[in-house]
Amino acid sequence: MKLLILGGGFGGLRLARLLNNKPGIDITIIDRFNYHQFQPLFYQVATAALDASNISFPLRKAFHNSKNVRIRMAEIERIDTVTKQVITNEDSYSYDYLVIATGASTNFFGNKNLEQHAFPMKSTVEALQLRHKLIQNFEDALHTNDATELQRLMNIVVVGGGPTGVELSGAIAEMKKYVLPKDYPELDFSKMNIYLLEAAGKTLAAMSEQSSNNSLTYLQRLGVTVKINALLQDYDGENVTLKDGTLIPSKLVIWAAGIKGNIPAGIDPSLVARGNRIKVDAFNFVQGMNNVFAIGDIAYMEEEAFPNGHPQVAPVAIQQATLLAKNLLHLRQGKIAQPFRYNDKGAMATVGRNLAVVDVPKPKLHFGGFFAWLIWMGLHLMLILGVKNRFFVFTNWLYNYVTYDQSLRLIFKEFYRKDEVNN
């Protein structure tokens, strides 16, 4: 069986590891990066709490002792389902079975100004770029004598009140409280404003009412200005314009308000569902195909408990990959495949030091504050790949907790300019 996996994220990597060294299966993973990225901690890279290498793991290192897994770094150009080939910028790869696990990227909803001026955070490179821009703004603030320009440089706007927006806003607020005044004693940080804009009526809308209320309380305690029912209309790099006409001057807007699936060319448009996701059946087969699967963020599967598709989170990708590995082995043995049912084990988000929220659906439980924060840290630490990475992440967290400081506020010019990075 020649198995081709597109993407080395949570789903693709999990699938390859479960089928590693299984006889009769030849696996190739294609990804534009040569490393796995631990997306839940991108915000800590962006706020100088962790180094990028702490949350990135070389794909090839995961398969040092593998006899059947090979890695290819390339950009996917299109899929040809007739000839059973994937064409990349480097080469073409044939397959018996194809697994699309290309994940999701930032959705700007067609707003070209936002796409040009706002900063997304869906990759390690983008997290680094955001970190450099964040710090550079304060460096620039030291050189301006214009009060309006100074305010623009010291205002930070985060758009999107989901876990990413909440965690990022809290982390920046803690930088404002504990770190930045020491780094820049010449600046008056009472003038620094952190805005969190949420178009819906509450933060963490996908979680319980308690978690939503707790997160709002925690953010306000940290000094974040939370604006709910606030729909961003435009951003020109200087001013944020809300739908109600409100203007917020800011040189830094962080976009955490939407994602869309990374669908390779060659997929029939009729198979594309809301959010740019590929329609799949209960076995993760792309609808109408018997040798192409889609898993994770890219897959749209309707289930009784999830009529609008599963949440685009790591546990879904991991569970789908786990079952798909079993089903592929069953396929080789002539056994019946099992349909996928998502086991929702809960949701969580951290807001800041000693502040987090955790929801457990069965039994229905809610935790907030310090205990929830410990649960959040423990789970994320377990999910990070590599003993070395876990050690460095834990060491950094311990250092930050004791010293109230981060030690990674470095500006690398090659990452600073957004257009240079994207090109």
What pLDDT is attached to residue 414?
A: 58
Q: Give the CA diameter of the chain.
A: 74
Distance (Å, whole) CA 285 – CA 216: 40
**What residue type is assigned to position 206 of the chain?**
A
Beta-bridged to residue 98, according to DSSP, are 4, 292
Structural tokens at position 19: 């089928």
Q: What percent of the chain has pLDDT over 90?
A: 89
pLDDT-based confidence at residue 422 (cuts at 50, 70, 90): very low
pLDDT of 336 > 60? The answer is: yes
Does residue 39 register a pLDDT over 50?
Answer: yes
DSSP one-letter code for 411? -
Catalytic sites, residue numbers: 167
Rounded CA gap, 253 and 171, in Å? 15
Look at residue 421 in the predicted model and tell me its pLDDT.
Answer: 44
CA distance 322 to 308: 22
296 pLDDT more than 80: yes
Q: 10 in helix, strand or coil?
A: helix
- Looking at residues 96-119, what average pLDDT do you find? 95
Average pLDDT over residues 368-377: 95
End-to-end Cα, the chain, rounded Å? 37
Domains of the chain, by residue range, sit at 2-32+74-106+259-333, 112-257+354-422
Burial of 110 (0-12, 13-18, 19+ CB in 10 A): exposed
Q: Cα separation of 101 and 107, whole Å?
A: 18
Average pLDDT estimate for 348-375: 94
The predicted-structure confidence for 259-278, as pLDDT tens digits, reads as follows 999 999 999 999 999 999 99
**Which residues partner with 3 through β-bridges?**
27, 97
Asked if residues 58 and 32 have their Cβ atoms less than 8 Å apart, the reply is no
Per-residue pLDDT, 420: 46
- Per DSSP, what are the bridge partners of residue 349? 357
Per-position DSSP letters for 82-133, written without gaps between them: TTTEEEESS-EEE-SEEEE---EEE--TT-HHHHHHSB--SSHHHHHHHHHH
pLDDT at 413 (0 to 100) = 66
- The alpha carbon dihedral of 79, 108, 101, 56 has a sign of positive
Read off the pLDDT of residues 128-171 as tens digits, 9 standing for 90 and up.
999 999 999 999 999 999 999 999 999 999 999 999 999 999 99
pLDDT of residue 423: 41
- The Cα angle at residue 179 between residues 176 and 182, in degrees rounded to 5: 110
112-257+354-422 under CATH 3.40.50.1970, yes or no? no
pLDDT above 90 (res 415): no
Domain spanning 2-32+74-106+259-333 has what CATH number?
3.50.50.60
Q: pLDDT tens, 206-218?
A: 999 999 999 999 9
C-alpha dist (Å) from residue 266 to 6, 299, 322: 14, 16, 26
Position 358 pLDDT exceeds 70:
yes
In this chain, the answer to whether the domains covering 2-32+74-106+259-333 and 112-257+354-422 adopt an identical fold is: yes
Residue 17 DSSP SS3? helix
Cβ atoms within 10 Å of 338's Cβ, excluding its own: 13
Give the H or E element holding residue 392. Answer: helix 387-403
Which residues are CB-neighbours of 282 under 8 A, at least 6 positions away?
A: 301, 303, 339, 340
Across all residues in the chain, what is the average pLDDT?
93
For residue 174, what pLDDT is reported? 95
193 pLDDT more than 90: yes
